[in-house]
Amino acid sequence: MADLFGIAIAACAGGCGATSAYALLAPARAPGVKDWLRRRGPTVGRTRGALQAALTGAAGLARLRAGLAVRLERAGLKESPEAVAGLGLLAALVTGAAIAIAVGLLIDPVAGGLSGCLVAVAVPALLLHRLNAAVEARRQRLLGELGPILELVSLELSGGAPPMLALESVLGRSRSELGAAMRAQLIGSRVAGSASFDGRLDQLADRFQLPPLRSMAMILGLSRDYGSGIGHGVRALAADLRRARRRRVIELSRGALNRVLIPAAVGVLLPFMAILLFPAVAVLVRSFA
């Protein structure tokens, strides 16, 4: 048995050595490009798909960052988009975790998890709503500042002042935010090789979302290109702003009236009616009992 075992081990060792010698000494055919691509095809495809997904995600994040930056600028906030997004995410996580722990300890862990998820989703939505409200409030404030500026420019033009001199005189005395921004654009337009004042006003209107300011830029552009006067256009634009402001005040007053009457009706009228009707209701209950 020992001889047979030794013979088997020697045969295996010899076969392994012969196979290794053949693999080393036999001429090997170099793989072609098609064979290499065919072998690497699945890996290359997966790599390309992952790269495309990463690029798509990066482009989406860049668009979200750009949109948030525009919103922050229109709201008049100086914070960076990354800081605002980080603080919003942190607030959502902390609030959601606190609600989840509280509800989980008081009621049920499953209900706590669902409540935490809902709150974590609701917090960024609430922050975005507040940001949009800040953007709209600033836009309405700038529209309210544009009306007096146009009124004063119209008075300067009625006194015989040239258009640019009238604008410079009014903007130099204005202390409003919009007046300061327009004055900076007027000063920048006088630099050699820079854009004209009407073009800068158009960009400012796009940044602040002020269509009347774009209309004023158009009036100034027509006056520069064709030599037409701007007095009539400025007066018409100021009148439109006055009417829009009046409609806005009426809407706000109606909303304020509703916000006062509804709580008064619920909190005062209903308890008063309950107190008055209590004796009659009590008599009817005793009569039917």
- Given this model, what pLDDT does residue 44 score? 47
- Given this model, what pLDDT does residue 250 score? 87
- Given this model, what pLDDT does residue 1 score? 46
Q: What is the DSSP letter of 151?
A: H
Give the span between the Cα atoms of 175 and 152, in whole angstroms: 13
Residue 237 to residues 142, 211, 218, Cα–Cα distance (Å) = 15, 11, 12
Q: Which token pair is 256?
A: 């304020």
- Given this model, what pLDDT does residue 19 score? 59
Q: What are phi and psi of 271, to 5 degrees?
A: -60, -35
- Given this model, what pLDDT does residue 74 score? 83
pLDDT, tens digit only, all 289 positions of the chain: 445 555 555 556 555 555 555 555 554 555 554 555 555 555 545 555 555 666 566 677 788 888 888 888 888 888 888 888 888 888 888 888 888 888 888 887 888 888 888 888 888 888 888 888 999 999 989 988 998 999 999 888 888 888 888 888 898 888 889 989 999 998 888 886 778 888 889 899 988 888 999 999 898 888 888 877 788 888 889 889 889 888 888 888 887 777 777 777 777 777 777 788 888 878 888 887 6
Residue with tokens 């609430």: 126
Buried b (16+ CB within 10 A) or exposed e, 129-161: eebeebbeebeeebbebbbbbbbbbbebbeeeb
Work out the burial of residue 24: count CB atoms within 10 Å of its CB; fewer than 13 is exposed, 13-18 middle, 19 or more buried: exposed
- Given this model, what pLDDT does residue 2 score? 45
Instruction: Give the count of beta carbons closer than 10 Å to the beta carbon of residue 201.
Output: 27
Residue 12 CA, distance from chain mean position: 74
- Given this model, what pLDDT does residue 127 score? 87
Domains of the chain (ranges; CATH) run: 74-137 (no CATH), 139-251 (1.20.81)
Characterise 259 by phi-psi region: left (phi > 0), alpha (psi -120 to 50), beta (else).
alpha
Encoded amino acid at 132, one letter: N
The helix-helix angle for 177-189 and 109-158 (nearest 10°) equals 60
